[in-house]
Amino acid sequence: MEKKILLTDCPDAKGLIAKITNICYKHQLNIIKNDEYVDYDASRFFMRTELEGRFNDETLLADLDDALPTGAKRRLVKAGKKRIVILVTKEAHCLGDILMKSYAGAIDVEIAAVIGNYDALAELTGKFNIPFHTVSHDGLDRAEHELAVRKMIDSYDPDYVILAKYMRVLTPEFVAAYPRQIINIHHSFLPAFIGARPYLQAFNRGVKIIGATAHFVTDDLDEGPIIEQDVIHVDHTFTADAMAKAGRDVEKSVLSHALELVLNERVFVNGNKTVVFK
């Protein structure tokens, strides 16, 4: 018996849940869990269906194509472990959290490699017996450096690329190479305080909450579809440095949670927003 996840994204119409579940029944598949949502403004239907049984993927998808409205998107993916490559610079907290949760089985993921533009986190990565590659940007222009990083990423053929405090802005060419496969953690509650030094921006604005945002990377800096966010309270006694220190715990938690949601196929991209089944 196999377990797979059926992901359906299509124009809304009457009877979609019945049509999809009846096709699953026709194929003698057991529905373990089902989640659905309708975006009434966009008239768009989303459904995530966990299935168990003996699959004939081609026939199942063909039956769905016959039943679903024009413009429907459907995917059938294997449940289970996905493969990631993590990009880092010098900050350890987000990488360390993913490494530890993977080691403990809290996140079901294969960390194929960690790539850094410095070697500062090589020792930490090595403690978990995961390959670390330093791809320095010294003496290279942005295009040359990104090409070297991409070659290293592609050698591992990951499902997703995770920016765990990778402090370099990616070019459109890099982003296009991994569409909806790059996940970033931004140390701010977006859309506030976009770009560099957001904790200083927050401090100067006198905010009473600070947070972190995990999102898919697009060509628009820090404006890709948001996967997960969280906040903590601060007050007038917090300096910018104290805010940054407090924010690190939020950052690592939000990134790990977002990663878990994506790896479990619980996230649909809906324009510049997401539908997240938790």
Calculated CA dihedral for residues 173, 136, 262, 174, nearest 10 degrees: 0
Give catalytic status of residue 235 as yes or no. Answer: no
Q: Which of 9, 63, 97, 222 is catalytic?
A: 222
How many helices (H) and strands (E) are present in the chain, helices listed first? 8, 13
Q: What one-letter code names the amino acid at 89?
A: T
Long-range CB contacts (within 8 A, 24+) of 231-240: 231/189, 233/208, 233/209, 234/207, 234/208, 234/209, 234/210, 235/208, 236/206, 238/203, 239/203, 240/199, 240/200, 240/202, 240/203, 240/204
Closest CA to 83 of 166, 177, 156: 156
Residues 209, 213: Cα–Cα separation, whole Å: 13
Which residues participate in catalysis according to the annotation? 222
